[in-house]
């Protein structure tokens, strides 16, 4: 995958003639790892929730909302809890799923496909939802993984501000490391609300990204995989 790169300027506002807003709208990402501060976990989850609630209350106030209204006064706390405990819980390594491998005693040496794994993520450029399905496949190198753990790996990486290309590669790398094989395939088909609900407001388009490793670079294997997914 060819990625555009830009040199970060001193003022942080323009990169090689492109504004930060333009770069975000161009759907770029800067690397495989989710951009995190070195002291990202200096605060506890509870401290983060208190801080987010305070700041979100400020945002609501700036927008002119009446925070004394019964329907709104609990919103800052609800948003803070949702951010830390739910939709962005994948930022915290402590929430990474623990995976146990088992010997492939059945001697099943063909591809295993787990398809239509539904996920909800959020675009890191506008913090609006990405909704889609992930299809995973691997060929055992002698070990197998519980099927539910495949789902959990997808959810872990989806629950953070994301770009679909990065999400695809993060899932693929995790599966390669866990299963100790290059024979991995990841296909993500997703709808981006930053496209459908704002900007161009195209409600019909979808984005597909793929990762094919090892044996899945064979066109016949790719065709076989897509036949499984489509039927």
CATH of the domain at 127: 3.30.1130.10
Is 106 found in the same domain as 18?
Answer: no
Q: How many CB atoms lie under 10 A from the CB of residue 78? A: 11
CA gap 154, 175 in Å, rounded: 10
φ, ψ for residue 83 (rounded to 5)?
A: -60, -50
For 90-101, give one letter per residue: b (16+ CB within 10 A) or e: bbbeeeeeebee
| Whether residues 223 and 109 fall in one domain | yes
Q: Cβ distance 198 to 126 under 8 Å?
A: yes
Q: Which residues contact 199 (CB under 8 A, 6 or more apart)?
A: 25
188 has a pLDDT exceeding 50? yes
Which residues constitute the domain of residue 12?
1-30
Please indicate, yes or no, whether residues 16 and 118 belong to a single structural domain of this protein: no
77: in domain: no
CA 175/CA 55 separation, integer angstroms: 37
- Say how far apart CA 152 and CA 197 lie, in whole Å: 28
Q: Is residue 95 part of a domain?
A: no
Tell me: pLDDT of 131 over 90.
Answer: yes
For 141-160, write each residue's pLDDT tens digit.
999 999 999 999 999 999 99
How many Å is the Cα radius of gyration of the chain? 20
pLDDT of the residue at 194: 85
- Residue 215 falls within a domain, yes or no? yes
Q: 105 and 4 in one domain?
A: no
Asked if 115 and 196 sit in the same domain, the reply is yes
Q: 60 in a domain, yes or no?
A: no
Question: Is 231 one of the catalytic residues?
Answer: no
Higher pLDDT, 23 or 93: 93
As a whole number, mean pLDDT of residues 160-180 equals: 97
Average pLDDT of the residues in 68-74: 97
Residue 221 token pair: 């294997």
pLDDT value of residue 29: 58
126 is catalytic: yes
Domain total in the chain: 2
3 state SS of 132: strand
pLDDT at site 19: 57
Residue 62 lies in a domain: no
- Is 124 among the residues known to form the active site? yes
pLDDT of residue 157: 98
Number of H helices, E strands in the chain: 7, 9
User: Across residues 76-83, what is the average pLDDT?
Assistant: 98
User: Does the annotation count 57 as an active-site position?
Assistant: no
- Does residue 204 sit in the same domain as residue 123? yes
Catalytic residue (choose from 14, 27, 114, 126): 126
**List 57, 123, 155, 165, catalytic entry:** 123
> Known catalytic residue: 123?
yes
> For position 91, what pLDDT does the model report?
98
Contact assessment for residue 114 and residue 135, using Cβ atoms and an 8 Å cutoff: yes
Closest alpha carbon to 158 in 194, 193, 123, 182: 123
* Active-site annotation holder among 14, 114, 124, 182: 124
Q: Give the pLDDT of residue 211.
A: 98
Catalytic residue (choose from 164, 165, 170, 174): 164
116's CB contacts (< 8 A; 6+ apart) are 133, 135
Residue 66 confidence (pLDDT) above 80: yes
End-to-end CA distance of the chain: 28
pLDDT at position 1:
39
Average pLDDT over every residue of 24-47: 84
Residues 12 and 125 in one domain: no
82 occurs within a structural domain: no
Which of helix, strand or coil describes residue 5? coil
CA proximity to 78, closest of 58, 56, 45: 56
Active-site annotation holder among 57, 125, 170, 174: 125
**Does 65 reside within a domain?**
no
Residue 33 vs residue 13, higher pLDDT: 33
Query: Do 24 and 107 lie in a common domain?
Result: no
Burial class of residue 6 (count of CB atoms within 10 Å of its CB; 0-12, 13-18, 19+):
middle
Q: Is residue 225 part of a domain?
A: yes
This prediction's pTM:
0.86
220 and 107 in a common domain: yes
pLDDT at 18 over 90: no
């Amino acid at each position: 995958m060819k990625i555009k790169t830009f040199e970060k300027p001193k003022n942080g506002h323009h990169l090689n003639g492109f504004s930060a807003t333009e770069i975000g709208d161009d759907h770029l990402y800067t690397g495989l790892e989710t951009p995190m501060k070195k002291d990202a976990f200096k605060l506890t989850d509870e401290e983060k929730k208190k801080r987010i609630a305070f700041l979100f209350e400020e945002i609501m106030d700036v927008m002119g909302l009446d925070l004394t209204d019964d329907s709104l006064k609990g919103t800052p706390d609800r948003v803070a809890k949702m951010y830390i405990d739910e939709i962005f819980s994948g930022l915290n390594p402590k929430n990474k799923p623990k995976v146990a491998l088992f010997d492939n005693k059945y001697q099943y040496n063909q591809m295993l496909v787990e398809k239509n794994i539904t996920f909800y993520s959020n675009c890191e450029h506008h913090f609006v939802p990405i909704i889609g399905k992930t299809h995973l496949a691997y060929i055992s190198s002698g070990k197998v993984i519980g099927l539910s753990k495949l789902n959990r790996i997808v959810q872990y990486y989806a629950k953070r501000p994301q770009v679909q290309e990065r999400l695809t590669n993060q899932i693929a790398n995790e599966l390669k490391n866990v299963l100790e094989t290059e024979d991995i395939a990841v296909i993500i088909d997703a709808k981006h609300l930053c496209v459908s609900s704002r900007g161009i407001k195209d409600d019909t388009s979808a984005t597909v990204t793929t990762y094919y490793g090892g044996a899945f670079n064979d066109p016949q294997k790719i065709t076989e995989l897509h036949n499984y997914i489509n039927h």
